[in-house]
Amino acid sequence: MIESAERIEQVGEYYFSGKLSSIREMISRGVDVINLGIGSPDTFPPREVVETLVSQSASEGAHGYQPYRGIAELRMAIAGWYKNHFGFEPNPESEVLPLIGSKEGIMHISMAYLNNGDSVLVPDTGYPAYATAAMICGARCMQYDLNEHNNWLPDFKELEKQNLDNVKIMWVNYPNMPSGINATSGLFKELARFGQRHNILVINDNPYSFILNNRPLSILSYDESLENVLELNSLSKSHSMAGWRLGMVIGHEEHINNILKVKSNMDSGMFLPIQKAAIQALQIGKEWYDDLNNIYSNRQKMVYELLDSLGCLTRPGQTGMFLWSKIPDGFTDSYQFSDYCLDRYHLFITPGLVFGSNGKYYIRTSLCVKEERIKKAIKRVK
């Protein structure tokens, strides 16, 4: 057999890929598994957005290659969306780059900036893709703790004690997944100053700003030069368009150009009707976000009840489309508790260890589940 590249030797199969395969096998045997683990929005996107996609798909020229930077109208819509909701207006010509999903951006940014031997600050707990992208690029992951003791925020005193000379990138994610901690202006100011002091590119992954959160914030507002910050965003959660693969990266023109060098060699532009529909989505009114959050708020109350029935402790006031909870005493770790819930109640809940060692005694429960399914889950447990 041909040997695989060394860059993937440390990279395992994505946890959900293997677990969902097991769940599908259970379902094929007639087991009614209630999946409370995956953050894939189950609500319908704005109807006018879908209608735009359909009508534009029949237009002349819709099916050809598109600009690598995205069409100008989409970049302008992204800039306007940021101005309206975040109070920061990027230059649509030079500071905005549409992406085929923000997960694509994690890899593009890593490839644009990391050399073999560089170091990357990645959160523990945090989205596993940050560390995976760094390892594929040959970089070294330096984990920094996010834990209950520090309210799931970076401990800057501890960070300053480390040798940061070789650190190129720091990944942050606020509003935070999985803890549900919200962003604050104070946090973003401190992160921007930290990046400036140590010449580190601080990247905020920001897809949860509009879910159960009435005060969206952007790290870009706290570094006027934009030299040490970037932000990723997405329509996956805010507009229930996860499968459309619509994201963006925003930052200094030089950073955007560097990322584009990678991106333009990996795809051939985004389907034009999707870009046209995205423009419609970005111009949607406040009532869309209010209606969406009413759905998530009702579900959140029910999931609190479910988690309480399971004996878990859940901090109130969490943002985003998940709840982060401490598992009951008596279990070795969150993997064991997750398996227990799957075996006994046919409920799949994500073990916190997927997101790092600080998630050992925590689980993440999704709100992307219809109310009748959550009620059924509660009934099973009770």
Gap between the Cα atoms of 38 and 102, Å rounded: 17
Domains and CATH numbers, the chain: 6-44+287-381 (3.90.1150.10), 49-282 (3.40.640.10)
- The answer to whether 365 touches 36, Cβ cutoff 8 Å, is yes
CA nearest neighbour of 203 among 211, 214, 213, 195 = 195
Asked whether the predicted pLDDT for residue 17 surpasses 90, the reply is no
Would you place residue 24 in the very low, low, confident or very high pLDDT band (cuts 50, 70, 90)? confident
Give residue-wise pLDDT tens across range 296-346. 999 999 999 999 999 999 999 999 999 999 999 999 999 999 999 999 999
User: Taking a C-beta distance cutoff of 8 angstroms, is the pair 128, 159 a contact?
Assistant: no
Per-residue pLDDT band for 12 (boundaries 50, 70, 90) equals low
User: 3-class SS at 136?
Assistant: helix
Question: pLDDT tens digits, residue range 261-286?
Answer: 999 999 999 999 999 999 999 999 99
Kindly report the pTM of this predicted structure: 0.94
Q: What CA–CA distance (Å, rounded) separates 375 from 303? A: 9
Which tops the pLDDT comparison, 137 or 5?
A: 137
Helix (H, G, I), strand (E, B) or coil at 246: coil
Q: What percentage of the chain has pLDDT greater than the value 70? A: 98
- Kindly report the average pLDDT of the chain as a whole number: 95
Exposed / middle / buried, residue 140 (Cβ in 10 Å: 0-12, 13-18, 19+): middle
Give 65-69's long-range contacts (Cβ < 8 A, gap of 24+): 65/268, 65/269, 66/268, 66/269, 66/270, 66/271, 66/272, 66/275, 67/269, 68/260, 68/263, 68/264, 68/267, 68/268, 68/269, 69/97, 69/98, 69/260
Q: Is 380 exposed, middle or buried (0-12, 13-18, 19+ CB in 10 A)?
A: middle
Give the angle 67-68-74 at the CA atoms, nearest 5°: 65
Residue 20's pLDDT band (cuts 50, 70, 90): confident
pLDDT band, residue 21 (cuts 50/70/90) = confident
Kind plus residue range of the DSSP H or E element containing 67: none
- Segment 344-370, tens digit of pLDDT: 999 999 999 999 999 999 999 999 999
Q: Determine the pLDDT at residue 13.
A: 62
The pLDDT value given to residue 38: 84
Residue 208 has pLDDT above 90, yes or no: yes
Half-sphere exposure of 335 (CA within 13 A, CB side): 9
